[in-house]
Amino acid sequence: MSAVAAVAADPSVRSPLPVLGRDVAVPLVTGGEVTYAALDQAASAPALQRVWDDVAAYAPYYGSVHRGAGYLSQLSTDLFENVRRTVAEFLDCRADDQLVFTRSTTDSLNLLAAALPDGCEVFVFETEHHAALLPWQRAGRVTFLDAPDSPAQAVETLERALAARDPHGPALVCVTGASNVTGELWPVRELAAAAHAHGARIVLDAAQLAPHRAVSVRALDVDWVAFSGHKLYAPFGSGVLAGRADWLRDAEPYLAGGGASRTVTRRADGGVDVRWHETAARHEAGSPNVIGAYAIASACKALTEAGFDALAAREEALVRAVREGLADVPEVRFLSLFGDDAPRVGVLSFVVDGWNSSHFAAALSAEYGIGVRDGLFCAHPLVRRLLGGDTGGTGECGAPEAGALNAIRVSVGVGTPEEHVARFVRAVRELVRDGARWSYRTVDGRCVPDTSGRP
């Protein structure tokens, strides 16, 4: 029995948490329709049905948070603060940690970058998503660490860099929990121990980790954690930064405005004096996105109740079905830092010999109704390293390249049906063997079906 067939036959691999969009039909360029296979969940995951139901049930009771005496305002304020506690419990935060609702992981890490104390040096691996790679340059000195070949080398690289720094100044390490390119799990606990041994703090980018594995701030011993609702099956515009309160409390508010301020008074000289909140509200100026925060809390509860061990086992079976289903296709090469057998979440990136990756992804969509991601995945240095060279060229759609311009990423989640994985494996094998059945052209930098006539 093939790996794909085995997954389809195993009831334990059935989706335990239904998601929205599971019955959406999309047209095929070759004619007819097919149920859409959403295999780009590392970019943005569909809402859990439960999250949607919870949001819909609350929506009629929506009111302004911390800004009204009316019943709905009071209800919404209580809800907002209760969901803050729910998310803190999901992350296993320390009692004195602060949890700030933001717009996304990118927003969270930029907030922390703005809160760095003077003279802080930041250490970050070149393998990070741009959300974790780029914010620090505005705030202070940054040391970019080379990509490691193994988890052990990651720890050794960090230890060497930290040992060479000024031991008296503040320092921060930023690291992902799971790569958005390869899905590989990073040695977060060991990196946190190395950081603390050298007097540095550490922030965990859990955007790809939190939807797939339990995240414990205390067990991992990280100082902060950031993640996005839209990757956690709660795509309603909210994110989270949770962790140590002191740097956040001592920093200027991320945004100045109502909600962040306690009092504002006029001075005799005509100016104003402001007293800012010292709680999470300090960095939550403006009307909070209570629906987005509530959606995150709903997803946290659903994932916790489903059990991360069971979810991870199912996900591993789906990943195994992809790898084993394509193992005898020599043209397909999966990308990895730590090796093919490294533990990973449900994210795989690959290239196909003789294919422009954008062309291949376009054919998967147009001819099979499968949505994947192609490109450099907002992690340009890492993908360039994995591809073995420069990927700066543009290349025309459908033109085989001597070196791959970019890669293809397939990613699964809690709501991914086995049939979608089986269809993906079949589609890749057919495209490699027979080629595309339609012609494609480049429009505005994207590869699209040529609808000017039949292929």
Q: Which residues are catalytic?
A: 378
Element (H, E) at 86: helix 71-90
Alpha-carbon separation of residue 72 from 5, 56, 252, 335 (angstroms):
51, 15, 31, 51
DSSP for residue 29: T
SS3 at position 384:
helix
Measured distance CA(413)–CA(420) in Å, rounded: 11
SS3 at position 383:
helix
SS3 at position 239:
strand
Amino acid at 227: F
SS3 at position 137:
helix
DSSP 155-223: HHHHHHHHHTS-TTS-EEEEEESB-TTT-BBP-HHHHHHHHHHTT-EEEEE-TTTTTTS---HHHHT-S
DSSP 339-369: -TTS-B-SEEEEEETTS-HHHHHHHHHHHH-
Measured distance CA(379)–CA(406) in Å, rounded: 11
Q: Under a CB-based contact definition with an 8 Å cutoff, are residues 97 and 243 in contact?
A: yes
Q: Under a CB-based contact definition with an 8 Å cutoff, are residues 167 and 198 in contact?
A: yes
Q: Under a CB-based contact definition with an 8 Å cutoff, are residues 107 and 229 in contact?
A: no
Element (H, E) at 449: strand 446-449
Measured distance CA(334)–CA(150) in Å, rounded: 16
Alpha-carbon separation of residue 36 from 73, 244, 380, 452 (angstroms):
40, 42, 28, 24
Alpha-carbon separation of residue 237 from 20, 64, 135, 249, 292 (angstroms):
17, 17, 20, 24, 6
Instruction: Kindly give, in sequence order, each residue whose CB lies less than 8 Å from that of residue 168, ignoring residues fewer than 6 positions away.
Output: none
